[in-house]
Amino acid sequence: MDRELFQLERTERAWIIVGVIPDSDLYPTELQAAKKAAQLAYRYFLMTGTPTGVKVRMQCGDVVLVAQNG
């Protein structure tokens, strides 16, 4: 089964979360966005049984999985 990924993205002023559960909030720090994305991913996993994760693109261009469920 494919893993549904939530992604943290940097905007000019804040961090946003892109994923299957809509989240229009802006987060001032990457840590706050990562915490909320992990909560959303876990909630989606509980609702659907689909494996989930949270990914972040590092400044060097690498993508890192920072949380996973299932």
Per the CB < 8 A criterion, the answer to whether 50 and 4 are in contact is yes
Across the chain, mean pLDDT equals 93
pLDDT at 57: 87
pLDDT at 39: 96
List alpha helices for 1-70, DSSP H.
Answer: 30-48
pLDDT at 23: 87
DSSP category for residue 60 = T
pLDDT grade for 27, boundaries at 50, 70 and 90: very high
CA 45/CA 9 separation, integer angstroms: 21
